[in-house]
């Protein structure tokens, strides 16, 4: 009898623990999703249709165009690896004339915020070709700047600088006034562990909210033939 | 609904691969040396099957041929041994039912969440695609991270391709099978009835499971291989078993081989496990020789294959030259950072929160011998390894720690479950007296 009670108690406990596991992992809801939503819908929900990894858009393109080559994929999303796995086929040749641009921005912009002796941005850039414009968000109507403007990256946890731009900057700057700033360099493309800093000596930082730099895009959508697009953010072009 | 059908048939396909060979082996074959449970037999089949797949991968045998060959062999052997197969002897194994149930539950989670983690979408999936799309091992050189081993991806591609060849996540269900089988097999170390083992298994699964470990990463394979190693080590230390150890040594060598080919750190873990076991257990001279020679052959094979395919280790992992120029302030900074994050991640991991205090208690209460010595040696090696891994990195140490340390800590956490096993078994022993 004792053994039977013990066995029943164990079975009860096993059922209880299993139910807790199911409840904690929300498995009833997930089972419902698996039965009701298609694979494409679920993967779009998990990795974004035209956001984050944009796996949904890649799967959609693969279905629609049935590629017989591997188009080049460029994802502009910040801090997301550039991955083309949903459409990649080892048996096909790469064709970089056909491009898929994911999360394509109207304008690539770096916003530098004041920090101790300089300005910094945590954003990373992947497909920039150089600097284009600069403008200041000021607390005052205007201010005069006569100094060198230095933009550099620094690896996380080190003091080794890599200079992106270092030239004199002598301008009377008005609030939100866009100043042409053309300079071609691929060094502006940064990675997650390399913060970009901006330094202007003898600057009254307390008068500045932030400094914005517009980056020249490597791919100008107006110069490419659009074969498919979604929401003005994801494009298939050649 | 069709995907539920895919999931169930995928599970049945996986189970049939490992279940069918157990019918062919005579019970007496095992009882001559020691009693393996049904789950143990599945584990042993798994270890040998993965080794077969590994050799098939380096010999560029096509995935279809492996499957056909395997089933053909089983069918032939079944016909030869038809008289020995006694279906009436097959009993319900509750641990097997648990295995089936939890594979299904976790598969549902994977089918729903589906996303890849960073390393999976930049590295592992491309290795998997390589094999899935019928390419050879040498074709891996066109991808990034050529020095990362391929075995996990090869397994993924095999079970993605068979039986359905539709969605990639079906291949990841095999990782779930390995993970659950390792935990359930490990629970057999407990000297309790089967229902209590089931309870213990569910608790271990609840402690260690999260979707992230199946998001295409290979760390769970290391975790499971170490857990299998822990189970076999337990059998070796178990006084009740008076076998010549050779069968177990062979299984250990099989585990060491797959550990070395799941991830690069697996080579170090293999060495630590091997050294800790040899130092803690008095093997016969011949067994020690087999173990050392077997492991040395595995390490040499790895070196040979890396040289053959011109694979160099990525120098950015370890910046030893810079580290050798001693900068004490930097070393102190790194030591401080690593220690801080080790404490943070250990306290965040329920398995360590439970098993490490028990290990300390066991060391205090009993003398450091046998299994406790084995765990302790591995613990020391493991933590020296973690420190050295991050000490040799000059830049982005903190960032690297944040990105990887929780996974590194998870990989080896299974071995410390042994402390819980020793504690419970000793408690039961006292209780029975």
List chain B pLDDT tens, one digit each, 433 residues.
Answer: 899 999 999 999 999 999 888 877 655 555 455 667 889 999 999 999 999 999 999 999 999 999 999 989 888 888 888 777 777 777 788 999 999 999 999 999 999 999 999 999 999 999 999 999 999 998 888 888 888 999 999 999 999 998 998 999 999 999 999 999 999 999 999 999 999 999 999 999 999 999 999 999 999 999 999 999 999 999 888 866 555 567 888 999 999 999 999 999 999 999 999 999 999 998 888 889 999 999 999 999 999 998 888 777 766 655 555 656 667 787 888 899 999 999 999 999 999 999 999 999 999 988 878 899 999 999 999 999 999 988 876 567 888 888 899 999 999 999 999 999 999 999 888 877 6
Q: Which residue of B has its CA nearest to A92?
A: B133
Token duo for residue A122: 């945590």
Cross-chain Cβ contact B112/A85 below 8 Å: no
Distance CA B185, CA B297 (A): 27
Give the model's pLDDT for residue B326: 65
Q: Which of B182, B178, B142 is nearest to B158 (CA)?
A: B178
Give the model's pLDDT for residue B240: 60
Distance CA B117, CA B115 (A): 7
Q: Which DSSP state fits A191?
A: -
Percent of chain A beyond pLDDT 70? 97
Cα A163 → chain centroid: 23
The distance of B301 to chain A (nearest Cα, Å) reads: 27
Q: Is the pLDDT of residue A208 over 60?
A: yes
A204: pLDDT confidence band, cut at 50, 70 and 90? confident
Q: Which residue of A has its CA nearest to B333?
A: A157
Q: CB–CB of B139/A90 below 8 Å?
A: yes
Give the model's pLDDT for residue B243: 55
β-pair partners for A147 = A169
- B contacts of A160 (beta carbons < 8 Å): 395
The distance of B110 to chain A (nearest Cα, Å) reads: 9
- A contacts of B102 (beta carbons < 8 Å): 21
Q: CB–CB of B167/A55 below 8 Å?
A: no
Where is A99: in which H helix or E strand?
A: strand A94-102
Give the model's pLDDT for residue B321: 59
* Interface membership of B199 toward A (CB under 8 Å): yes
Residues 6+ apart with CB under 8 A from B202: A14, A17, A18, A21, B98, B102
Give the model's pLDDT for residue B393: 67
Other C-beta atoms lying within 10 Å of the C-beta of residue B78: 15
pLDDT by residue (tens digit) across B176-234? 999 999 999 999 999 999 999 999 999 999 999 999 999 999 999 999 999 999 999 99
* Interface membership of A191 toward B (CB under 8 Å): no
Size of interface A-B (CB pairs under 8 A): 109
Mean pLDDT, rounded, of chain A: 90
* Interface membership of B104 toward A (CB under 8 Å): no
CA dihedral (B47, B52, B55, B58) positive or negative: negative
Q: CB–CB of B17/B74 below 8 Å?
A: no
Q: Which DSSP state fits B120?
A: I
Give the model's pLDDT for residue B419: 95
- A contacts of B199 (beta carbons < 8 Å): 10, 13-14, 17
Q: CB–CB of A130/A182 below 8 Å?
A: yes
Give the model's pLDDT for residue A88: 94
Give the model's pLDDT for residue B306: 87
Torsion of CA A61, A62, A63, A67, to 10 degrees: 110
Percent of chain B beyond pLDDT 70? 92
Is the bond preceding B163 in cis, omega lying within 30 degrees of 0? yes
Length of chain B: 433
Q: CB–CB of A112/A165 below 8 Å?
A: no
Distance CA B98, CA B413 (A): 22
Q: CB–CB of A148/A163 below 8 Å?
A: no
Which residue among B109, B202, B206 places its CB closest to the CB of A27? B109
The distance of B295 to chain A (nearest Cα, Å) reads: 34
Cross-chain Cβ contact A90/B135 below 8 Å: yes
β-pair partners for A74 = A101
Give the model's pLDDT for residue B392: 79
- A contacts of B205 (beta carbons < 8 Å): 21
Q: Does ipTM exceed 0.85?
A: yes
Residues 6+ apart with CB under 8 A from B303: none
- Any idea which of A147-151, A159-163, B115-119 has the lowest mean pLDDT? A159-163
Give the model's pLDDT for residue B48: 92
Instruction: Decide the pairing of beta strands A70-75 and A94-102.
Output: parallel
Distance CA B389, CA B409 (A): 12
The distance of A72 to chain B (nearest Cα, Å) reads: 15
β-pair partners for B276 = none
Q: Which of B183, B241, B208 is nearest to B421 (CA)?
A: B183
Other C-beta atoms lying within 10 Å of the C-beta of residue B160: 25
Give the model's pLDDT for residue A192: 64
- Any idea which of A60-69, A157-166, A206-215, B161-170 has the lowest mean pLDDT? A157-166
Q: Which of A96, A31, A79, A73 is nearest to A193 (CA)?
A: A79
Where is A53: in which H helix or E strand?
A: none
């Amino acid at each position: 009898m004792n053994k039977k009670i013990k066995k029943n108690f164990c079975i009860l406990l096993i059922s209880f623990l299993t139910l807790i596991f199911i409840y904690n992992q929300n498995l009833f809801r997930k089972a419902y999703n698996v039965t009701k939503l298609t694979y494409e819908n679920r993967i779009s929900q998990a990795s974004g249709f035209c956001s984050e990894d944009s796996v949904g858009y890649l799967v959609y393109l693969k279905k629609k165009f049935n590629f017989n080559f591997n188009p080049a994929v460029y994802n502009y999303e910040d801090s997301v690896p550039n991955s083309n796995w949903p459409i990649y086929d080892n048996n096909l040749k790469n064709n970089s004339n056909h491009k898929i641009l994911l999360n394509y921005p109207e304008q690539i912009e770096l916003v530098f915020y004041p920090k101790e002796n300089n300005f910094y941005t945590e954003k990373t850039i992947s497909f920039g070709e150089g600097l284009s414009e600069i403008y200041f968000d000021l607390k005052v109507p205007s201010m005069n700047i006569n100094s060198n403007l230095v933009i550099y990256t620094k690896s996380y946890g080190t003091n080794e600088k890599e200079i992106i731009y270092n030239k004199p900057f002598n301008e009377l700057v008005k609030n939100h006034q866009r100043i042409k700033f053309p300079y071609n360099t691929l060094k502006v493309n940064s990675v997650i562990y390399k913060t970009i800093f901006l330094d202007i000596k003898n600057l009254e930082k307390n008068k500045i909210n932030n400094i914005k730099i517009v980056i020249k895009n490597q791919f100008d959508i107006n110069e490419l033939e659009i074969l498919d697009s979604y929401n003005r953010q994801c494009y298939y072009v050649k | 609904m069709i995907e539920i059908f895919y999931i169930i048939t995928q599970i049945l396909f996986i189970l049939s691969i490992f279940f069918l060979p157990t019918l062919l082996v005579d019970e007496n074959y095992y009882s001559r040396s020691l009693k393996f449970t049904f789950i143990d037999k599945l584990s042993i089949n798994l270890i040998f099957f993965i080794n077969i797949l590994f050799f098939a991968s380096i010999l560029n045998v096509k995935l279809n041929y492996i499957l056909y060959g395997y089933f053909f062999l089983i069918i032939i052997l079944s016909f030869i041994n038809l008289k020995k197969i006694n279906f009436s002897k097959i009993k319900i194994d509750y641990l097997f039912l648990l295995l089936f149930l939890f594979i299904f539950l976790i598969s549902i989670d994977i089918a729903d969440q589906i996303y890849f983690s960073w390393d999976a979408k930049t590295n592992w999936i491309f290795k998997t695609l390589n094999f899935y799309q019928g390419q050879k091992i040498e074709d891996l050189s066109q991808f990034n991270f050529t020095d990362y081993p391929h075995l996990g991806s090869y397994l993924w591609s095999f079970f993605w391709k068979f039986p359905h060849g539709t969605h990639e996540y079906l291949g990841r269900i095999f990782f779930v099978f390995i993970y659950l089988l390792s935990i359930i097999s490990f629970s057999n170390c407990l000297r309790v009835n089967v229902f209590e083992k089931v309870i213990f298994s569910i608790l271990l699964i609840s402690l260690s499971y999260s979707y992230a470990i199946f998001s295409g990463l290979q760390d769970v394979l290391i975790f499971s291989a170490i857990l299998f190693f822990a189970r076999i080590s337990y059998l070796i230390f178990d006084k009740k078993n008076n076998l010549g150890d050779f069968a177990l040594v062979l299984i250990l060598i099989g585990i060491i081989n797959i550990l070395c080919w799941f991830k690069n750190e697996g080579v170090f873990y293999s060495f630590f496990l091997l050294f800790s076991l040899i130092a803690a257990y008095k093997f016969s001279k011949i067994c020690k020789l087999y173990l050392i020679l077997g492991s040395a052959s595995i390490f040499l094979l790895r070196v040979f294959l890396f040289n053959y395919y011109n694979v160099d280790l990525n120098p950015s992992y370890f910046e030893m030259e810079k580290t050798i120029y001693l900068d004490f302030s930097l070393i102190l900074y790194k030591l401080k950072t690593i220690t801080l994050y080790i404490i943070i991640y250990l306290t965040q991991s329920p398995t360590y929160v439970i098993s490490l205090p028990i290990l300390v208690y066991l060391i205090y209460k009993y003398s450091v011998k046998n299994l406790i010595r084995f765990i302790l040696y591995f613990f020391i090696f493991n933590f020296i390894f973690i420190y050295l891994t991050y000490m040799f990195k000059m830049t982005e140490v903190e960032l690297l720690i944040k990105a990887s340390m929780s996974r590194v800590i998870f990989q080896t956490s299974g071995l410390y479950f042994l402390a819980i096993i020793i504690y419970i078994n000793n408690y039961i022993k006292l209780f029975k007296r």
